[in-house]
Chains A and B, each alone.
Chain A
Amino acid sequence: MGYLPDFPMALLPVSVHGKMLAVYIFGALMAGAAGLVALMAVPPRYRKIVVVGVTFFGGLYFSLEFLLPHQPVAHIPGSAGVARFANSLTRAKPNIADWAMVIASFTLLLGTFNLFAIHSRAVKKKTEGWYNSLAFFITFFLILIVGILKDSPVSKLGPGAAKGLQSVCTSLYGILFDGFVQNLDATMFSLIAFYIVSAAYRAFRVRSAEAGLMMGTAGIIMLGLVPVGAWLTNWLPSTGLLASLRLENITYWLLTWPNMAAQRAIEFGLAIGAVAMSLRIWLSLERGSFFDRQL
């Protein structure tokens, strides 16, 4: 390989500000919508080729950037060109990051569109629990409007009105976010604690030696990680042979020896599986509902 061209930087995103930003956003939305319409208009078997091609080139970029040498190798003809090409791929990384964020923003839009489609249907047909769908619309628009007004520059309304509106929106946002979103999220997660207690009491039975070993180890770890564990065995000396019997020291040994060995073995297995899976996805060998039915 004698020469490879630089990665086409001119085709990648640029940063703009002011009025040009609005033009770019509008242009990007139009181009995105046109692209989607065009893709949907393509017959399914050709659409598949487009998706496979984009997936392949996306994976190829990261593979080449990682695997190609970034420094020329002495006495190997063409290595300078390869290194130059590899370095141009590296320089394109921030632009690739920009693209990644832009594409993900479209998926947010798609998610919102799906939610609207599902919940509007539920409200329209008054299906069971339709009022939950109505609550979705109310809360969605409420937190959207309040959130935008809270942070937007509203000085055009005059100092008094602007201050008043922002103050109201800030208070409302506090109620909605701190009072509802945050607490509801935390509550959902906290329920796990209650289920764990009930499950541990009713299902954790020492029916075999392995179960006994697991229970003993879990008990030591549970106590050794919290302050009460250290307190239970703080009568033992902090140095010397007996110190190794302190609960926190047994805990640390369990975590850094048996646990680490097991975790390392699991990680190796997972990594090999991930390589195989990544190759299948990259080369579009993976067959799922998307390729078999949707396209």
Chain B
Amino acid sequence: MRFLIRLQNIDRRILYVLVAIVLSVPLIIRPAKHPETVFPEVRKTYDTIDAVKPDNIVLLSVSWGAGTQAENDPQMQALMRHMFANNTKFVVMSWSLVGSELSYQSGMHVQADVNKQRSREGKPLLEYGKDWAHVGYKTGSISAIVSGLGENFQQVMKQDRNGTPLTELAATRNIKNYRDIGAVVDLTSVGLMGYWIAYLTTPKHIPLIYCPTAVMSATAYPYLDSGQLSGMLNGVMGAVQYETLVGQADVATDASASSWALSAAHIYIILLIVLGNLGYLVARKTGDRSGGSKLG
């Protein structure tokens, strides 16, 4: 019993080292096992991307940076794999300077990875500019830009991140306005869903897929219920479930490793909370007030 009370005053550095170990082991081992459960909103996302017409594009809105890369990047990569497999063209735009660079690197990485497989199968290789494009970083009033690009995509976006006019890229040449956008995907750590719903996707009846960090996802369920969101990938777990659907169930990916790291971390936190509460109960019974107050 005294042990439980003493444990409440454990040096926080020990807790920190244990967190690091618990998180690191699955990331080093990289298990390939993907979850068998796929939530309905993830399935709906898959179906929405599948339903995009061949002459339409999917617009990926990136508003994340390195801080949430572990959650948002696997979501984006899984979606890109699906769109490459379907020959669905997509355009990436970024509201974050760092996110612009990271999303471009990710796109090139997925393209190279898919091209290896295509090369083995003798299929035509994917090309930047032909199968997808990146229009770089955009700054300014989000409401104005979102509503403007729906009316005249070429005028608002103008050129890709390398300075090539969009009229010269096969992937973007024919995009005129909202009628050429088959779906919008909001990959975010800051929550831009409201702008897309208010200014483009709901007024113009374009499916919107929401890919937030896990901590933000709880707020999205009313919009899924109302149909204003056509699907959602809930943090890295949404990504790993999506990978199951796109045929990567047995491939060791960043998302699968992260999902097991999360599993380990969640169990660790739950154990700590239980231990902390046992110590609290024992201390309350014995009248010992020595533990459970230091934070940090």
Contacts and interface: CB of A to CB of B under 8 A. Distances in A.
Interface of A: 15, 62, 90-91, 93-105, 108, 151, 177, 181-186, 188-189, 193-206, 215, 219, 222-223, 225-230, 248, 252, 255-256, 259-260, 263-264, 266-267
Nearest to B259: A227
B158 interface: yes
Closest 8 CB pairs of A and B: A97-B148, A189-B67, A104-B140, A185-B66, A100-B144, A100-B140, A228-B263, A94-B152
A230 B35 contact: yes
A205 B218 contact: no
B295 A97 contact: no
B140 A195 contact: no
B296 to A, nearest CB: 6
Contact of B144 (A93, A199, A256): A93
B99 to A, nearest CB: 10
A33 to B, nearest CB: 19
Nearest to B203: A66
A209 B237 CA distance: 30
Interface string B274-296: 01110010000000000011111
Interface string B250-289: 0000000001101111111110110111001000000000
A14 B187 CA distance: 31
Contacts of A62: 143
Contacts of B15: 194, 197-198, 201
Contact of B150 (A93, A181, A202, A223): A93
A228 B148 contact: no
Contacts of A229: 263
Interface stretch (B79-87, B111-119, B124-132, B219-227): B219-227
A204 B273 contact: yes
A184 B67 CA distance: 9
Nearest to B189: A189
B94 to A, nearest CB: 13
A200 B67 contact: no
Given A90-B151, A93-B144, A185-B66, A260 B39 contact: no
Contact of A194 (B16, B69, B259): B16
B144 A206 contact: no
B205 interface: no
Q: Counting chain B CB atoms within 10 Å of each CB, which of A91, A100, A256, A259 scores highest?
A: A100
26 contacts: A15-B158, A90-B151, A94-B155, A97-B140, A97-B155, A101-B139, A105-B140, A181-B66, A184-B66, A189-B66, A194-B19, A197-B19, A197-B268, A198-B12, A198-B296, A201-B275, A205-B292, A225-B262, A227-B33, A227-B259, A228-B264, A228-B267, A229-B263, A252-B40, A260-B221, A260-B222
Nearest to B17: A194
A93 B259 contact: no
Contacts of B221: 255-256, 259-260, 263
B16 to A, nearest CB: 5
Contacts of B218: 255, 259, 263
Contact of A223 (B10, B68, B102, B270): B270
A101 B67 contact: no
Contact of B65 (A97, A99, A185): A185
Contacts of A197: 15-16, 19, 268-269, 272
Interface of B: 8, 10, 12, 15-16, 19, 23, 33-37, 39-40, 65-70, 98, 101-102, 138-141, 143-145, 147-152, 155-156, 158, 162, 214, 218-219, 221-222, 225, 234-235, 237, 240, 259-260, 262-270, 272-273, 275-277, 280, 292-296
A3 B113 CA distance: 59
A256 B222 CA distance: 8
A226 B144 contact: no
Contacts of A91: 151
Given A193-B19, A197-B268, 19 more contacts: A94-B151, A98-B155, A100-B141, A104-B140, A104-B141, A105-B140, A186-B67, A194-B16, A198-B296, A200-B272, A201-B15, A202-B294, A222-B266, A223-B266, A225-B214, A227-B259, A227-B263, A230-B35, A267-B222
A96 B144 contact: yes
Contact of A252 (B12, B39, B140, B145): B39
**Which of A93, A206, A222 has the most CB atoms of chain B within a 10 A radius of its CB?**
A93
Contact of A94 (B102, B148, B296): B148
A228 B266 contact: yes
A183 B36 contact: no
B222 A248 contact: no
